[in-house]
C-alpha cells in the first residue's frame, strides 16, 4: 500500500534579524555567516507566538482544503515543549477544532522526532487506510547571545497530513537507522538554552549519515545514483553541503550540488527550526525547482543530537504542484520585516507571560498569556 503526504505546509513568524546586522554588532566579517555557515536571516517569534501557534498556522491551510474528517491522530514533534506533562498536540487539537475521537501525543528526540512521527503515521495509515494522521514539527531554536550558536537560531513549523491517498509524496518503506549515546547537544530542564559541542556534533552528524546510509543499502534501499535530490537536516546550510559531498565521496561519485542546494533556499532565510528543518528543506525542493519532479526520488537524512538518525527515500507524485501552498509560503518569506539588534534582544529575552502579551502576531492564532499557571491561546479569527 502507498502511504505518504497528502499535503504539507509551513508557517514562520513575521520578523527576522539579518545576519549582517548581527555581524555588525559583533564586529565580525558578514561572510562568516553568509559564506561560513551559509545563512542569511534568523526568524524571530514574538512573545505571543510559540510552537503551538506556529503549528496551528502551519496546519490551518491544509485543514481548510481537506477538512478534518478521518483525522484520528495528531503527532506533535518538538524539542522546545511548553509543558512537562501535557502534550502540545492537545492545545493544537483544541485550536483546530479536530474531532474529539482523536489521540494526541508529543514526541521528543532532538531534531529527529518528526521523522519518527512520519514513519509511525505511515505505518498506522497502512493498517487503517481510512484514517489520516496530522504530523507536526514545530520548534524555536534559541541559543545564548554571543555564543557560537547564536547565528544558527530560528523558528518555524511544518504540518504534514499523512494518508493512504498521498498527493504530494510517497514515503518509502526502507530505512537505515543509527543510534549512539553522545553529548553533542542537550538542554537540561533547568536551562532555557541548550549546551552543545558544535565541532563534535558536526563530526558525529557525518558519521551518522554514513551509518544510516550503509544500513539503508543493506536493507535493500535504492542506490546512490537512483536519487535525483537529497534533503539533510540543516542546523545551518553549509553543514548540508558538506554532508552531500561526504555521502557522494563515500559512494565514489562526484558531488552534484544541484541535487542538494534547492533544499537549502528556504532554510537560509529562516534559520534552524530543529524538528521542522528537514521538512522545510523538502518543501524548498518541491517549491523552488522549476522542472517537473514527478517520479523523482528524494533521499532524506534526519539527525537528532544525542543521537538518533535515519535515512529513507521518498518519491514525488504526479500532480504534486496542485497540492502545494507555494504562493502562501513565499509570501510569508517575502513579507517579513527586519528588526534592529535592540529589538532582537527584546524578543530574545524571556517575557513575564502572567502579565499578558502584546498583540503582535500576524498569524491566525496567538498566545494571550498565562493565567493561574495555564497557557491561554486564542483563535484571532473568532476572538
Supply 245's cell numbers.
559531498
- For 275-305, letters b (16+ CB in 10 Å) and e give bbbbbbbbbbbbbbbeeebeebbbbbbbbbb
Please identify every residue annotated as catalytic: 79, 111, 233
- The torsion defined by the Cα of 60, 53, 329 and 193, in degrees rounded to 10, comes to -150
SS3 96: coil
Rounded to an integer, what distance in angstroms lies between the CA atom of residue 156 and that of residue 77? 12
- Strand ranges of the sheet holding 308-316, from the earlier edge strand across to the other edge: 103-107, 71-77, 132-141, 154-163, 4-11, 169-179, 308-316, 297-304, 229-232
Spatial neighbors of 83 by CB under 8 A, at least 6 apart, are: 375
Dihedrals phi, psi of 39, to nearest 5 degrees? -120, 155
Q: Where are the alpha helices (DSSP H) in the chain?
A: 19-25, 31-34, 51-66, 88-95, 113-127, 198-218, 237-250, 265-270, 277-288, 326-334, 341-348
Grid cell 553541503 — which residue? 241
- Exposed/middle/buried for 370, CB within 10 Å: 0-12, 13-18, 19+? middle
Rg from Cα positions in the chain: 20
Cell 489520516 sits at which residue?
A: 132
> Can you tell me the distance from the alpha carbon of 72 to that of 285, in angstroms, rounded to the nearest whole number?
29
Spatial separation of the C-alpha atoms in residues 65 and 61, rounded to whole Å:
6
**Cα dist. 86→57, 105, 152, 240 in Å?**
20, 9, 28, 34
Amino acid at each position: 500500500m502507498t502511504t505518504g503526504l497528502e499535503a504539507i505546509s509551513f508557517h514562520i513568524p513575521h520578523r527576522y534579524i539579518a545576519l549582517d546586522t548581527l555581524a555588525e554588532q559583533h564586529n565580525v566579517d558578514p561572510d562568516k555567516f553568509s559564506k561560513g555557515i551559509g545563512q542569511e536571516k534568523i526568524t524571530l517569534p514574538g512573545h505571543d507566538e510559540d510552537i503551538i501557534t506556529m503549528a496551528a498556522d502551519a496546519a490551518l491551510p491544509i485543514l481548510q482544503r481537506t477538512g478534518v474528517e478521518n483525522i484520528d491522530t495528531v503527532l506533535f514533534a518538538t524539542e522546545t515543549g511548553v509543558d512537562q506533562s501535557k502534550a502540545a498536540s492537545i492545545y493544537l487539537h483544541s485550536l483546530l477544532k479536530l474531532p474529539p475521537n482523536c489521540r494526541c501525543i508529543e514526541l521528543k528526540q532532538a531534531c529527529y522526532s518528526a521523522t519518527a512521527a512520519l514513519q509511525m503515521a505511515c505505518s498506522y495509515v497502512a493498517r487503517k487506510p481510512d484514517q489520516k494522521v496530522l504530523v507536526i514539527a514545530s520548534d524555536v531554536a534559541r541559543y545564548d547571545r554571543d555564543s557560537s550558536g547564536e547565528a544558527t537560531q530560528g523558528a518555524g513549523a511544518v504540518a504534514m497530513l499523512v494518508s493512504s491517498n498521498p498527493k504530494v509524496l510517497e514515503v518509502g518503506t526502507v530505512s537505515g537507522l543509527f543510534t549512539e549515546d553522545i553529548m553533542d547537544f542537550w538542554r537540561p530542564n533547568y536551562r532555557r538554552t541548550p549546551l552543545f559541542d558544535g565541532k563534535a556534533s558536526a563530526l558525529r552528524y557525518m558519521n551518522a549519515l554514513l551509518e544510516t546510509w550503509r544500513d539503508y543499502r543493506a536493507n535493500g534501499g535504492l542506490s546512490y545514483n537512483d536519487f535525483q535530490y537529497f534533503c539533510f537536516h540543516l542546523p545551518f546550510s553549509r553543514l548540508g553541503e558538506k554532508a552531500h559531498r561526504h555521502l557522494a565521496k563515500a559512494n565514489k561519485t562526484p558531488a552534484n550540488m544541484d541535487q542538494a542546494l534547492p533544499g537549502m533556499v528556504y532554510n537560509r532565510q529562516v534559520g534552524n527550526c530543529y524538528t521542522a528543518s528537514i521538512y522545510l528543506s523538502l518543501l524548498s525542493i518541491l517549491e523552488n525547482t522549476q522542472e517537473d519532479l514527478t517520479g523523482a526520488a528524494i533521499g532524506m537524512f534526519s539527525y537528532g543530537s544525542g543521537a538518533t538518525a535515519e535515512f529513507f527515500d521518498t518519491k514525488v507524485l504526479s500532480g504534486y504542484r496542485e497540492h502545494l501552498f507555494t504562493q502562501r509560503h513565499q509570501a510569508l518569506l517575502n513579507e517579513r520585516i527586519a528588526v534592529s539588534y535592540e529589538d532582537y534582544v527584546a524578543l530574545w529575552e524571556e517575557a513575564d507571560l502572567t502579565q499578558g502579551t502584546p498583540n503582535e502576531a500576524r498569524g491566525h492564532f496567538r498566545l494571550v498569556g498565562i493565567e493561574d499557571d495555564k497557557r491561554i491561546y486564542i483563535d484571532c479569527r473568532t476572538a
